[in-house]
Amino acid sequence: MEIKFNAYSEKQSNAKAYLILNRNFPDEILLNEDEMAYLNKQLEENSLVIINRYNELILFVSGDNSKINYLFLEQCRKSGNEISAILQKEKICRIDLVVSKDEPEATFAMAEGLALGSYQFLKYRSPGSRIPWSLTQINFIGTDISEEGIDQLATLVEAVFIARDLVNEPASHLNSLKLAGNFAEMGKSAGFETQIFHKEKIKELNMGGLLAVNQGSIDPPTFSVLKWEPAIAKNKKPIILVGKGVVYDTGGLSLKPTKDSMDYMKCDMAGGAVVAAVIYYAAKCRLPLNIIALIPSTDNRPDGNAYAPGDVIVMHSGHTVEVLNTDAEGRLLLADALSYAKKYNPELVIDVATLTGSASMAIGQQGIVGMGNAEAALFNILKQSGNKVYERIVEFPLWEEYGESIKSDIADLKNIGAREAGAITAGKFLENFTDYPWIHLDIAGPAYLNKADHYRTKGGTATGVRLLVDFLKNLI
């Protein structure tokens, strides 16, 4: 699906709905005495008021701009999502947003909520059962409008939709080869370079973690390298994004239960989808940053040749790992990618993964668990971006004592630690494969929702895309 964004100096006659924040009336929208009285009375108790003129809707949103700025912006996104549902009910496909001169950022936030809340995944619905979303065009009305800002918002929404589509795609139609093929198509469209390593190359690189997880699959693994290298860049050393690309996770021989677990495991490649969507945005918007995305991909199944608890594998780094749980597979292929990242002498590496149920149990679906060894100032920029886009980060510690839990009697490491602090011991495992500034983001909680949460629609949410885009823009 596609939503077009346009900028105009005055309202468009083909739009049947007009959205106004905090009484920012344009000259061309005048209310009569009765309408004004109705509006004033309703705004005493309601944050959203609709005046229905039959041939057009005028929607007034009252936002509490006395709140902390990021809370106000989130309120505006939620209002936009609420309005999106109203437009759907009324079958209105175009809306004019009157840009507030005092609160332009809030208007953009409402547009973001309008667009993100309209996402649908209808690919496998029969034509007769499809009810496509009505909204196809959002117009910004005003004289002080940034064309660049509108273009970037349109690309951000497109990137989020791309990531959501990938996460929502069933494993029956998206193995690791097809996922890599999607990345290649994204590269052609946006203008970034793609290299796809297949099984023989992965063997040459001694990526024992990725190969071990793949042993139970009839489909080969892939390792995708996506590069955005502009002619003029702010950073000489690249920023590397690593995304977990497990297209389906049964748990392997350590089989998951089906209900509320395995049945949602098509989403276990959400980290890979997120970092690919971020580099897509960076290339389309020509961000002046050298960025590389690394995405190791396979499924994890319990075939007769599947790796088993008790096995010892040799990683790309040369570390040996005793496997005690085949459902702790994501850290194995991420570790190979983190080790491979060293060849680029990176400025910063951020990995994104649906890594542990422990992260979800700790903070639920409202935030991201983060940890790492990057300097505090850099981590704080990322957390500020998380607040701004409302993909908030809770930083967990990586104290030395947590490393005791993953020491093995027969190898360098175990792939799983104690039951307590599981999200941290998973991060501690990954830390062994880094020697550069590094941040780990565990998106297991918010990556996939069983029911919609405002503009975070049911299914894949693409959590992490908006966070990392805002973070990268703050580095420019």
DSSP 429-462: HHHTT--S-EEEEE-TTTSEESS-BTTB-SEE--
Give per-residue burial for 332-368: e unless 16+ CB within 10 Å, then b. Answer: bbbbbbbbbbbebebbbbbbbbbbbbbbbebbebebb
Phi and psi torsions of 308, nearest 5°: -130, 155
Q: Residue 396 has what DSSP assignment? A: P
Phi and psi torsions of 246, nearest 5°: -80, 105
DSSP 118-148: T----TTS-GGG----S--EEEEESSS--HH
Angstrom distances, CA of residue 342 to CA of 236, 317, 426? 15, 10, 20
Is 331 annotated in the active site?
yes
Residue tagged active-site, from 244, 331, 428, 456: 331
Q: How far apart are the first and last CA of the chain?
A: 31
Q: How far apart are CA 14 and CA 183, in angstroms?
A: 37
Name residue 366's amino acid. Answer: Q
Contact call for residues 72 and 65 (beta carbons, < 8 A): yes
Residue tagged active-site, from 256, 383, 414, 428: 256
Helix-strand-coil percent breakdown of the chain, rounded to 5?
Answer: 40, 20, 40
Angstrom distances, CA of residue 249 to CA of 145, 254, 257, 458? 46, 11, 11, 20
Q: Residue 262 has what DSSP assignment? A: G
Phi and psi torsions of 75, nearest 5°: -60, -40
Q: Residue 79 has what DSSP assignment? A: H
Q: How far apart are CA 473 and CA 476, in angstroms?
A: 5
Is 256 annotated in the active site?
yes
H or E element: which one contains 115? helix 104-116
Contact call for residues 274 and 244 (beta carbons, < 8 A): no
Nearest to 273 by CA among 254, 297, 289: 297
Q: Residue 403 has what DSSP assignment? A: G
Q: How far apart are CA 278 and CA 241, in angstroms?
A: 9
Q: Catalytic residue numbers? A: 256, 331
